[in-house]
Structure formats: structure tokens, C-alpha cells
Amino acid sequence: MKTSMYQTSIPTFTRVLNNLAAILEKGAAHADARKIDPAVLLNARLFPDMFPFTRQVQLAADTANSGAARLAGTEVPVHDNSESSFAELAARIRKTIAQLEAFKPEQLDGTEDKTITWQTRSSTRSMQGLPYLMNHVLPNLFFHTTTAYNILRHNGVELGKMDYLGRS
């Protein structure tokens, strides 16, 4: 049975981002209920050399968006990364989900062997479509989402496994 690149990517991306949006809501409610300046949570890190919460959320959205765009052969959306509140981050996620939902199966299916090339901070990388999705995009999406979850959890936000996984 052939893998559907669309089914492996877009529904997974949107589910993870919807769950992340719900996690953001809990973070905002926690800050409000405890009279914590939201900037404390938005700028929190797990370790000094890691990106703060806000950047982790931006990167999760960017990973899904750029992954889908590269596979589909469309322009990768660029954002100014100026979000400075839970509401702005949630709006970014909603915008990303809307962009992802605009992709059609025929844009992604059949890209398993397509060469995907992208620029990192230090080099140009290339992979075939299926390994790009399975070994680069999905792990990065999960990493940044998990790190965002962990930052809030570490800072006392009452989150559990089902917040991360979402309800079926």
C-alpha cells in the first residue's frame, strides 16, 4: 500500500497545531488566574541555549507550513515573528491551520520521491519527499510542540498528556 503524503502530513500538522492552540489557551488562563505577567511565560526557556516559548510556537507553525509548501512546490510563507502575546500566537496558529487546510491531496500525493531542497542557517539540504516528511518535518514539528508544552508545564501550567495528544 502506498503512503498518502497528504494524509500523513496535513491532518497530522493541523491536529498538532490545534492541540498547541489549546495549550496556549491554558497558558494564558494560568497567567491570568495567578496574576503572572504573560511575558514571563512567553519568554521562558527550558535551558539558556534553547529558544523561548514564543519562538518554539512560531517554529512549530513554520515547520508545518514550510514542510507542506515545499512538498507541494508552492512558495514557503514568511512571517515576521513579531507575536508578543498568547492571543497573537493563537492567531498565528489559526492562520497556519487555514493555510494548511487549503492544500489539496493532489498537491502532496506522489511527492514521495520528489527532491526537496531547503536552506538551513548553515547549509543547503536536500532529501526525497517521504524521508523529508518522516525524518525532518514531523520530528521538528513534534520537537517544537513538545518543547513549548514542556516550558509551560515546567512553569506550573496544569497540562497533561491529553492536552498534548488532544481528544480523538
Mind listing the pLDDT tens digit for each residue in 51-107?
999 999 999 999 999 999 999 999 999 999 999 999 999 999 999 999 999 999 999
CATH code assigned at 114: 1.20.120.450
Residues 6+ apart with CB under 8 A from 142: 16
Average pLDDT over residues 125-129: 97
Our measurement of the distance from residue 151's CA atom to the centroid of its chain's CA atoms, rounded to an integer in Å, reads 15
Block residue for cell numbers 532529501: 127
The residue segments making up the domain with residue 138 are 5-165
The predicted model scores a pTM of: 0.96
Rounded Cα distance between 89 and 61, Å, is: 10
| Cell numbers linked to 19 | 492541540
Please, what is the average pLDDT of the chain? 96
Number of domains in the chain: 1
